[in-house]
Structures are given as structure tokens and as C-alpha cells.
Structure 1
Amino acid sequence: MNIPKLKQVLTDPDEFISNRQLKALSLELLLLIPMPGIEGSPLDPGDIMEVVLRAAAGTTSVNGVTTNTEETPNREPVMDWLHTIQKDPMLDSVNDILATLAMTVLDRHRSRTVCIDFMDNPFHGTPSSDGETRRMAARDGTTQCHRYCTAFVIAQGKPLTLAVEPVAGEDSKADAVERLLARVETYPFEIDRILMDRDAYVGKLIGVLRESAPPVFPVKTGKASIRKKLSVTASYMTEETICEGKEHEQTFPMAVNVTYQNGDRGKSGVKATGYAAYGLKDRTPAQVATIYNKRSRIEKSYEKFREARAVTTTPSTTIRLFYVGVGFLLEQLWLVLQWPCSPGHAVAGEHSPLSSRSEMRFSTGSSGS
């Protein structure tokens, strides 16, 4: 993929990015996503992608853009075009563009720690097919959601999105993570380790993770042997076994890290956290906890992603996935354009309107919703 303007910005720390230039660059990225479209239509992909871009930048809907913005197509032809998007080519393109953006700033010769997470988007309405949605804890008045599996790296304290995969209702977490890691493994760098939350504490999923790199994750505390090992007042290293006597049985090094809560968030006393610490037997529990805690920075990526996600009531899982992909692409572009290209220089950071959220709303006539 050739993105000349992006390369120019990254090599010139004094380059100023106006909102109009940012819009043009964003459209350049989005037009790399294939959209068959409607034969004989007076519209073209650029017309449709501009509406989607306005909806994402304003965190509104296509209807909100077409109703409140002059010189845009009506909602119906826009949605007709969006319904021609094919899931697999679109998803492949989104992940290819994410990789292109990430590798503009990442050193391909340096190994990396990869963070994996599951993200739930609440769904209101009736699914178009059985098994389409997943169940989640009640939020926003629903227990239905569309789930996505994401992979990140933390570089210079910033979370870069490596890949996104949808998780259908019939998918196991292990299946989704396996597909996600297949995308991550196409990157030119080696994977040092994988950080994941307690969702990783499943024998089959641990096996999938270990095929790529040693995983590190907090253990679940429902098992009596683990509760006993956490009933201590000093940190130590031990071992634990999962799935005893079953197909996916394995024993892993476990770090028990003890900390003292001195009124933090209204809590006090001793807190013991257990971590599965594959590949970290030579580290102290405090060092294992420090390695794992870097994963918390992916929340910053989600915050920005939510600020660049179009809203919709469509039951189409493909269009919803497309909007999620657009949100991650815009968030990634925003992050890359501010990336320091050399010590003491920030790309488009000090001089660009991208340095504040309000300026991400393209000043091209959109009035929001």
C-alpha cells in the first residue's frame, strides 16, 4: 500500500496537518477497503466513504450525517452501497491497513510483547440469525453483544492495534484467538510473550497462545488449590496445574504477587494476585506483575476508538464490523500521525490540530447529529 502523504508527515516533524488534509488522508485509507457498490449508480465509493467518515468522526449515524449535512447522498442509497460490502475481503483489508500503519512506526527488527483482548459492543434488537450474538454482563439495558478479539503492541507507551477479528456466537475463544494470532504472525517482528486477561485461563486457549509465545495472565480464583496459594502475606513463585486428567492438562509457573492497599480506592490490607507466568520462572512476582500491568494501556486505545466509531441500528453484522474496523483505522491513524519520529521531535503533535479530540471532527461542513 502506498500512502505518500503519511510518509511525508512521518519524515517531516514540522509538517502541519490541517483538518482538510486529515480528511483527505483518512479517505485515502478508507478507499483501500473494497466495496462492490451498485452498478449504474450515480454515486461512487468516495461518496459513500465520506459519509461513513463523517459519521465516525462525529460519533453519529449515517442518518445523522445525511439528514443534517448539505450536499450528501440520502440515507437509502448509502445503506444500499454498504450492504454490498463482503465480510472477508473487507476484514482482510482493514487488517492490512492496520498493519501498514503500525509498521510505519514500529521497528521490524525488534521483538514485541503482544496484548490480546475481547471487546463487547452491546446489541439492541433481534439478531438476524441464531448464534450471531454473544452474551455479556448486563450493560446499556441488554445482555446481547457483538464481540471482537483484538491484538495490540505497546510501543513508547502507546497502544498500536495489530489486528481485529469478529467472534461469532458459535466461536470458542480459542478459535477466535487462533485466527487473530494467524494475522499477527504475518508481521515481520518476533513475539516475545503474550499478555491477556483472565479469559486466557482455559486449557485449550492456553495451548493456542503457547504455540505463538509464552503467555502471561491472571489466574481465576475459583479453584481451592489456587485460593490456598493466594492466602499468604509474602510474594513467592510456585506452580499450578489446569485441566487435571483432561486433554489440555498442563502445569505452569505461577507468580503470587502480594501488595498492600493503603486506602487505594477505599480498600486496605493485603492483596494477593496470581499470574500464570510462562517463560518468566526466573523473574520475581513483582517483576511479573510489572510486565503484565503494561497491558492496561490498551484502554487508552479503546477510549480513542469509541470517539471514532459510527453508531447504527442495522442488524447487519458485516456493516457493524465495518464500522468497528473504520473506528480502529481512524484511531490508529490519529496515533501514528502524532508518533515521535526521532528523540525530541513529535510528528504532528505540537503543531497539528490532531493534538485535541475536538479537532478530530473534520471542519468540512458536517454539523453532526
Structure 2
Amino acid sequence: MQSLNYRIDEQQARVLASIDGKEITLPALWLRERCQDTENVDKTTKHRLFDPHQLDTDLALTRVEKKSAMRANLTFSDGYSGEYDLSEFNADFDHLDGAPAPRPWKSDIDKSVFHVDYHSLHTDKGLIAGIEKFLTYGVIIVDNVPQNLEATIEVAEIFGHVRETNFGKSFEVYSRPNSSDLAYRSVPLGPHTDNPYRDPMPGIQLLHCLQNQAGEGLSTLVDSLSVLEQLKKEQPEGYKMLSEVPVRFRHFDSEVDLVERRTIIESDATGKVTGIAYSPRLDNLPLLNDEDLITFHNARKRLGQLLSAPEYEWKFCLQPGQLQMFHNTRVLHGRTGFDPNKGLRHLHGAYIDYDAPKGRYKLLKQKMRGQ
């Protein structure tokens, strides 16, 4: 986290924040909205009991009284006066919102950093460690998971709430001729994002190996954050287009026809890149002039090459009793082809949303600090 300090200036009636050595004056309106007394903020929920949208824009600080290094009484031109704990502002400057910083990785990473034990997830300490690994690398491999369908849902609910889709609350992945999705065939699947045609896309996917008698059908994972760093160096203009020009994704079957338009490179509200929406089986080139279309296509083509390059893509055999859980838009997954006649390859999957593990991580950290 960045360096953060506060300064209370009684003489000029100011409160200042120093962020990585750069000092700024906190605006009166910004401070007034963040009043902390129980008459204006519910003690339990921390919800406001007033409407800050109706505050006057010409608010000013009329008096600042320092109580301690981190506490001050602030008086405003609208007549409000209240005591403030300046440490309550820390969260406003934490753009990771209490989560560990993502750490991009390539295929040569020590894979032991991904592994967690199923039994450890049933303790607060073990769950914090598991979520921290997941938020850092975008993937974990859970070992020693009971080989039944119920265990998949159990692990999903340790981290969050199961997201039901048209595929059901969960789904079983094994070879089915004439199925409505190629995931249920034995053909190879390149690195891809699941459900880019859905709004919102599932944030997290879990795939639990129940059987793998075929000895084939290797799982593949690749961190798009590392790939995007390279793509931006090689093709900055194309990278920009993939970040700004939406494409159309579609899935249909006998029960539903889903269409969504979104950019291939995904960013959060702060502009930080979070991953990609990528599925060559489901997208369509946008209609652009010839020059822009070539730029866009070349960037998309190079993105696909990098996602499958040995430097970035990790291939491994997911063993029975192992469950891979990955951030759907950050860590893309795939599979090599296999011969279903050699034996059953049976995975059980589910989706959860990305916000739940982040929220549980913060709450558990607070709980541990309190203890």
C-alpha cells in the first residue's frame, strides 16, 4: 500500500493528506460528507442517516481543533460540528480495497504457490491464506477434495455464493456427442473466458476432477495479466483498440439466446486492467474501416498466440480429488483433446461471483486482528 499520512492545520483550518510524499488539502465538502457521529451515521450498518447529495457546494471549514495526531473536531460553514477519526479515511486511498496486489505469472512459476489443502479451508487461518493466494495469482488448486458432486458445491460456498445459470447450479463436464457446448465434447479447447455472452460474466469458475481415466485432456491455465503486458509492448495501438472497441459474443441453444457486447480487454472503474473477455468460438469482429480492422485483428491474433505460447500457458493433469478455482476473466482455461474411448474424464463445475471472496477476506482479516 502507498505511504499515507495526515496533517491537521488549526491555523488555516485545513486537514491535509500526504500520499507517497505528495500533500493535498482535503476539500470541505469531501470531509463534511464523511462525518462520523451517530446522529448522522448508523452505528451498526455504517449507513448514512442523511442525504449528502443535498449538501451545499460552497461549504467551507470554519474551525479545526486538533484532539490528537489522528483526531480532530471540524466545524463547517453550514453549522455542523463533529469529531473525526482521520484513520477512517484510509480506505478511500486504498485502491485495492484491502486485497493483496495481483501478481502476474508465467508458466515457469513455482506451482506450489497455487496449492491449498481442502481441510485447511475449514479454519479461518487456512481460508485467509487460500483467498490471499487466489486474489494474488487468480487461481488456486485445492487438494484432497472428496470425490463427489456435493464437495464441489461445498468448496464453492466456502468462498462465496453459487451463481446459477442456464447450465444449472452446477455442471458436469464429460464427453457427450451433439452437446450444445464444445466443453462437453472431447475436442481440444484453447485458452478462453467462460460466458463472455453473459452480463455480468461469472467472476470465478471451479472445476473439480472426479475421474480422469483417459490419461489425456490436460488442463491449461494462463495469466492474461502477463500476456497483456507483452501485447502492450508489441502492439500499443492494437492493445488500445482491444481496450476500447466492443465485440459481440453470442451463445444459443434450445432454451436461450444470449448476446453481449464488451471489449476484449477488461478494466475496472479506476481504469486498472483486470483481465480479458476472450473466446474465439463465440466472438465476431467489429465493423471498422479497413485500416482499423487490420490493426484490431492483428492485435487479437497476437493475443491468441501469446495465450497459447509455452512461456505463458501452464499444462498439467488435474488429478482426481483436485479442484481448480480461477478468476474467469484473468486466468484463462482450456484443455487438450482426449480420446473418450480410453476412459472417463469427468469434471464437476460451478460458478461464483468475484466479490464474495474479497469481502470474506476483509472480514476475516478484521476478525483475526480483533483476536
- Taking structure 1 as the reference length, the TM-score comes to 0.27
Higher fraction of helix? 1
Q: Which has the higher strand share?
A: 2
Report the TM-score, using the length of structure 2 for normalisation. Answer: 0.27
